[in-house]
Structure 1
Amino acid sequence: MEIQKLTVDDFEPAMALSEYAFQVVMSEEQTEKRRSQFDSQDIWGVFEEGQLGAKLHIIPFQTYIHGRSFEMGGIAGVATWPEYRRKGWVAGLLKHALEEMNRKKQSISFLHPFSFAFYRRYGWETYVEFKRYKVPTAHLPAKKATPGTIRRGDPGLSILKEVYSAYAERYNGTLIRDDARWENSVLTNGASQKAVYYDEAGKAQGYVLYEVKERKFTIREIIYLNEEARQGLWTFIANHDSMIEEVTLQAPASDMLAFQLDNPRIQQEIIPFFMARIVSVEQFISQYPFASPDSPVQINLQVEDAHAPWNEGVWQLNVAMNGTASIWKTSEPVAKDQTVKVDIQALTAMMMGYRRPTEMAQIGRVEGPNGAIKALEQAIPDRETYLLDFF
């Protein structure tokens, strides 16, 4: 198996493979847009007799975790021609991608799986889900007067960025968006209409990106920083009641929209969304902002990671009283009754905040003494995961 980094000369065969594997036909405009973005991604391929047989993209992103920026490698565009499948080529590409991300200090990786079970084999684990609503017009929130104002139209990118950033850093796993992300992704699909809520002081506190078509109000993105902005935006949406029959949107899994309706019997779905994987235990945990304990915490972590051998082994984690951590791999024997045993998938789910150590222990995904698991529970801050983007 020969793995090579793709260059602009490989754009056409890479596009042909993507169109076949994902069953899409790109327009000329879409193709040229992909061509312009080709160099910004690390794209690796497996070749046989000079022909591209499989490929994988690593897109450089940054993500918020407890309000801190982490370098993240986004895995996308994984595809193989059918005649080359079942040869272990994707497994080889994923292992190579882990080595590349580790080398580039991308300590965490996200991907959108075609199969959760498949990517779990290589260390990724579910880290986020969202709630999808379909709200009939008759069930929309009651209209309420608010002291601020709604302004419909293009507010300028700086306004949207400011509101989004303030919102996104409240969650774990949201993307830190640069201008290119806004212009090439967020504002292109389903976001032809925009409305911003401003408070009495004239400061933007929320926005909605949406489309109204065929009597459906489709929300691409709705963000509010406080309850006043939420009420103002939903009143704006409800004022379309003569034009629409339903509103569709997605929200964090903990969202309370149904509870706040006069009639909460609306369609709701919980959708498992993206997976995450710690690429480097040492890099990730060294940067991680733990909760500030009453006294220093020391925990031994026995990590299993078959596909990233630099993570495999026993790590000594020390959390200082200010929440900063140091971690190093130890070759010294450690007592089993002082060690938490965890695979990389479970460790990722816990560190991202998607699952808590105590509940992971209850279902057998974490093993160790109660005292050590409780210490880990107290050390990891509680924060919900969310992701508004797709790649």
Structure 2
Amino acid sequence: MSRDEYNTRMEVPMFLYKQLDDPQQILPLATSAFALRPIEQGAADGWLASSVKHGCELYGVYEDDALLAGFMLYDFQMRLRSCVVPMGGIGLLCSRLDARGKGAVRFMIQNSLDTMMQKGQVVCVLDPFDETFYRHYGWEKFSRCQIIEISPNLLKVPERLGAGITATDLPFPDEASMSFYNQYAAEHYTLAQRTQREWESRTQILSWSTDTAARGVVKFFRNECVAGLMGYDLTRKDGEDRPTFHANLLACEDEAVFQEMLRYLRQLSHQVATLRICLPLDRELWPYLSDRPAKSTIRDLFMIRIVSLDLLDGLRMDAPDMSLGVDVVDEQAPWNHGVWDLTITSGVLRVQRGQRADLRCGIGALSSVVSGFSSFAQLIASRHIESLDTYQGQDLPKTVTFLADYF
């Protein structure tokens, strides 16, 4: 489909899509959509103003003078395979209660993809309220984590070997800590880079977070250099005598630093009742436990969607040389619709328009495979991807995906 044909299709007379210039415009929608109580609305107002001040953008769809739906667009840099690429994060997607079924949200999502493409954002990530809803628009499962709840006394860590590692609790990461984290994020999982803006968002405590007493980081120092960083929340609910320590980020150079993080957590036994540790799926904690945890769960986190196949061209990845034709179905972003040749040579993905397809799939399935969360073989077996006669088993290796931010 040509750009002119796309623009014609997007011109729905009853709706107007545009950037919102005042955060107050979306607050009534958010209040009803997320059932914000009066005590929470003031904090939401402040959070919206702060988010816009720090670079987030608000967009919405109008019918005449009435705002029917809106969302917040974040601008991230996220590791995808072996590259750090621009990623659009969608949050606060909401609509009027009486706007359901009018097509305003569909119109907004279609336009949001065009907005992200114009910004050069390669993929879009969101934390879904309903996976089925977003799967209909081209997003697919992308990230999981393991959450382990234990008493600090359950941790059994070997004695220290070699040079000591020191730990310092900080309410906000210093420059050395932020630099360490961004280098780590560029080399591990699907982590996003964090600037001062992201750290401020991550460490602030909003008034509706009535259980949260503190947020911060613990810096681990070795040989005069940062060797690890732990992000945490400290919470206590009404009626509880002792708090829970949530370790939501454990970035470390090696196993020795990871062990030092566990020693630090064990030493909290006199202050906290429970440790709640969030880890990527490939990080094993059981060798350091004396007994089974009180609770251990696998949690689905984010969904991902390719914004523009053209923008994937040049992506570096650890994958064997291969060539594959894919007939992509994408009703929301027609610039992706059609047959594409995906070729990997010396670890570089080349993407261009093609003529012959070996596979046929929706953009969501392809997004999950490109991210490393799934594989062509897995999704062919589950009938999410159709294998055509010319397919010869080409595939991309799976990787461990993990995104530690939220929005």
Is this a same-fold pair by TM over 0.5?
Answer: yes
Equivalent residues in 2 for 1:323-334 (5 A)?
323-330=347-354, 332=355, 334=356
User: Residue 281 of structure 2 aligns with which residue?
Assistant: 253
Residue type matched to 1:236 in 2? Answer: Y
Percent identical across equivalent pairs? 22
Q: Which moved more, 1:257-266 or 1:381-390?
A: 257-266
Match of residue 147 from structure 2: 132
Name the aligned partner's letter for residue 23 of structure 2.
Answer: F
Partner of 1:164: 181
Whether the 8 Å contact between 1:172 and 1:353 is mirrored in structure 2 is: no
The corresponding residue for 1:349 is: 368
How many aligned residue pairs are there? 377
Tell me the distance in 2 between the aligned counterparts of 1:373 and 1:353. 20
**Deviation of residue 252 (structure 1)?**
0.7
From 346, 358, 374, give the equivalent of 2:393.
Answer: 374
Pair 1:138–1:291, CA change in 2 (3 A): closer
3-state SS of paired residue (2:292): coil
Name the Cα RMSD after superposition: 2.5
1:4 paired to 2:21: no
1:308 equivalent among 325, 333, 337? 333
Structure 2 residue runs without a partner (length 5+): 1-13, 207-211, 237-241
Which among 243, 264, 284 is matched to residue 271 of structure 2?
243
Deviations 1:269-313 (A, max 9, x none): 1111111000111212x03213364xx532111111121111111
Q: Alpha carbons of 1:180 and 1:256: their partners in 2 closer, same or farther (altered >3 Å)?
A: same
Matched, 1:55 2:70: yes
What's the CA shift for 1:29? 6.2
Q: Distance in 2 between matches of 1:83 and 1:137?
A: 49
TM-score of the superposition, structure 1-length normalised? Answer: 0.88
What corresponds to 1:41 in structure 2?
56
SS of the aligned residue for 1:151 comes to: strand
Deviation at 1:186, TM superposition (A): 4.0
| Aligned residue runs from structure 1 range 199-210, under 5 A | 199=222, 201-210=223-232
1:48-77 deviations in whole A, cap 9, x for unaligned? 331212112222211111341211111111
Partner of 1:289: 316
Matched, 1:358 2:358: no
| Post-superposition offset of 1:193 | 4.5
Q: Corresponding residue for 1:150?
A: 166
Is the CA contact (8 Å cut-off) linking 1:66 and 1:289 kept in structure 2? Answer: yes
User: Aligned to 1:209, what secondary structure does the other structure show?
Assistant: strand
1:276 equivalent in alignment to 2:297: no
Alignment partners' CA distance in 1, 2:116 and 2:173: 34
| Aligned residue type for 1:223 | A
Indicate the residue corresponding to 1:264 in structure 2. 292
Q: Which structure 2 residues correspond to residues 22-37 of structure 1 after superposition, within 5 A?
A: 22-24=34-36, 25-26=39-40, 28=42, 31-37=45-51
**Matches of 2:392 and 2:292, distance apart in 1:** 38
Contact 2:203 2:216 in 1 (8 A): no
Whole-Å separation in 1 of the counterparts to 2:114 and 2:319: 33
- Structure 1 residues without counterparts, runs of 5 or longer: none
Q: Confirm or deny that 1:226 pairs with 2:226.
A: no
2:25 matches 1:13: yes
Give 1:219 deviation, angstroms: 2.1
For normalisation by structure 2, the TM-score amounts to 0.85
Structure 1 runs (4+) greater than 6 angstroms displaced: none
- Secondary structure of the 2:335 match is coil
Task: Work out the CA distance in 2 between the residues paired with 1:193 and 1:136.
Answer: 21
Q: CA deviation at 1:111?
A: 0.8
Q: 1:137 to 1:172 in 2, by over 3 A?
A: closer
Q: Classify 1:194/1:56 alpha carbon distance in 2 versus 1 (closer, same or farther; 3 Å).
A: closer
Of stretches 203-212 and 349-358 in structure 1, the one that deviates more from structure 2 is 203-212
Aligned twin of 1:141 = 156
1:162 match: secondary structure = helix
Matches of 1:291 and 1:152, distance apart in 2: 36
Amino acid at match of 1:182: W
Q: Which stretch of the first structure deviates more once superposed, 154-163 or 22-31?
A: 22-31
**Separation in structure 2 between the aligned mates of residue 239 and residue 205 of structure 1, nearest angstrom:** 20
AA of the residue aligned to 1:390: Y
CA deviation after TM superposition for structure 1 residue 328, in Å: 1.8
The answer (yes or no) to whether the contact 1:66–1:169 under 8 Å persists in 2 is no
Q: Which amino acid aligns with 2:305?
A: R
